[in-house]
Amino acid sequence: MTNPKKIAFFDAKPYDKRSFDEVNKDYGFDINYFDAHLDENTVELSQGFDGVCAFVNDTLNKNVIDHLNEHKIGVIGLRCAGYNNVDFKAAYGKIHVLRVPAYSPYAVAEHAAALILALNRKTHRAYYRTRDANFSINGLMGFDLHGKTAGIVGTGKIGKCLISILKGFGMRVLAYDKFPDKDYAEKEGINYVSFEELASKSDIISLHCPLNEETEWLINKESINRMKDGVILINTGRGKLIDTQALIDGLKSGKIGSAGLDVYEEENQYFFEDRSAEVISDDVLARLLMFPNVLVTSHQGFFTKEAVKNIAETTLGNFKEYFEGGYLKNEICYKCDQHCRKKDGKRCF
Ligand code: NAI
């Protein structure tokens, strides 16, 4: 009988252990959970393992990848959809990188909708008021979503889910995508427009495109200036889609009515951790948290029972495909991006 394959699991939280241990009953991997993020300081922990499991705030730059390669790690299983934290060029030809392309687009879209509803009707503030027996509704006025315009940037799995939710509220939808899905637009009665037009005509803007060189700081001083006064801006994509300083300036001037942020540019030091007994040294984050019209959640868009179970199942299934030598259907690599599907059933390298 061969020994079970050993997986070094980084940035492990109690809920990860529960869901992966449950699903692993069907796979039998030897999973070692490390609390630490994967980075240059912790990569040594991967010595003696066959694969590495990483998450959104782990660092997979060239240094870390080269180290993993020295440790003869052949596979990195990302237990997430986004992969902006991986240097694919460095990994190509050495380490296969697998991901979970979809686990529940509903989870993230519903969270984006929750942020929109809370910010518009100021539910987050009402909660505190009534707990303190303050039953005044001064300052809590919102607007009807019905008849307003939502601008959705990125009409992939999550963007489309959010569009159907917002259409349920009677909203008009404008969409921007580098690769527009024209059949979908026709069927659903939505309009693809330029990013500039979306920015200038939307009452609510929600970001659902991947972070890459083209989309980094898509929301910046210039695009914010173009927006309607009082716009609600929602980001459940990736932090660096927004230039946070420009966002803060927009909030201070009143240009941006409110912002719902499930992700933040410099989130890795804070998000997913309990830092309540410490002083926040990140002045930009501290400033954001002071605004009454900003709702920050800690990258929890994905966090539903269904999504967490699907993540564990797909991640361990990906490892199984790799160790059994099969075709890696969820591989992403330097040459084969999400829009370039391998059709020959062969591995990238
Ligand atoms: P997807 O791959 O289904 O959709 C992404 C869409 O963005 C595609 O339609 C694509 O054509 C479009 N796109 C690509 N480049 C673009 C560009 N330069 N400009 C405009 N559009 C562009 O991805 P999915 O599943 O909808 O996820 C979207 C993003 O949400 C992920 O990349 C990830 O960063 C983030 N995410 C956040 C989570 C959270 O917990 N907050 C959980 C899961 C994903």
The domain limits of the chain are 6-103+305-339, 105-296
Question: What residues are annotated to the active site?
Answer: 238, 267, 299
Rounded to the nearest 5°, which phi and psi values hold at 206?
Answer: -130, 135
Taking domain 6-103+305-339, whether its CATH number is 3.30.310.50 is answered by no
Helices (H), the chain: 14-24, 62-70, 88-91, 105-121, 123-131, 157-168, 182-188, 195-201, 221-226, 244-253, 283-290, 305-323
Q: Looking at residue 216, what is its pLDDT?
A: 98
Given CA atoms 212, 217, 222, 228 in this order, what sign does their dihedral have? positive
**pLDDT value at residue 342:** 61
Sign of CA dihedral 128, 132, 137, 138: negative
Residue 188 has φ and ψ, to the nearest 5°, of: -90, -5
The alpha-carbon radius of gyration of the chain (Å, integer) is: 21
pTM: 0.93
**What is the widest separation between alpha-carbon atoms in the chain?**
70
**If you average pLDDT over residues 275-293, what whole number do you get?**
97
pLDDT (tens digit, 9 = 90+) per residue, 96-141?
999 999 999 999 999 999 999 999 999 999 999 999 999 999 999 9
Q: Which tokens sit at 43?
A: 């990569």
174-207 pLDDT, tens digit per residue, is: 999 999 999 999 999 999 999 999 999 999 999 9
Q: Ligand 1 center to residue 207 CA distance, Å? A: 8
- In this predicted structure, the answer to whether residue 60 has a pLDDT above a threshold of 90 is yes
The single-letter code of the amino acid at 99 is R
- The closest-lying atom of ligand 1 relative to the alpha carbon of residue 262 is 41
CATH number of 105-296: 3.40.50.720
Residues 6+ apart with CB under 8 A from 175: 151, 152, 153, 155, 159, 163, 185, 190, 191, 192, 193, 198
- What is the per-residue pLDDT for 349? 84
Ligand 1 centre to CA of 310 (Å) is 18
Q: Is the pLDDT of residue 339 over 50?
A: no
Q: At what angle do helices 305-323 and 105-121 cross, to 10 degrees?
A: 150
- What is the 8 CA–ligand 1 centroid distance (Å)? 27
Ligand 1 centroid to residue 112 C-alpha, Å: 13
Q: Which pLDDT score is estimated for 337?
A: 64
Ligand 1 pocket test: which of 209, 215, 310 has the largest number of ligand atoms within 8 Å of its C-beta? 209
Separation CA 317–CA 28 (nearest Å) = 11
Q: Which residues line ligand 1 (CB under 6 A)?
A: 81-82, 102, 105, 108, 153-159, 177-179, 208-211, 214-215, 236-238, 262-263, 299, 301-302, 338
Average pLDDT score, the chain: 95
> For a pLDDT cut of 90, what percent of the chain falls above it?
93
The pLDDT confidence band at residue 340, using thresholds 50, 70 and 90, is very low
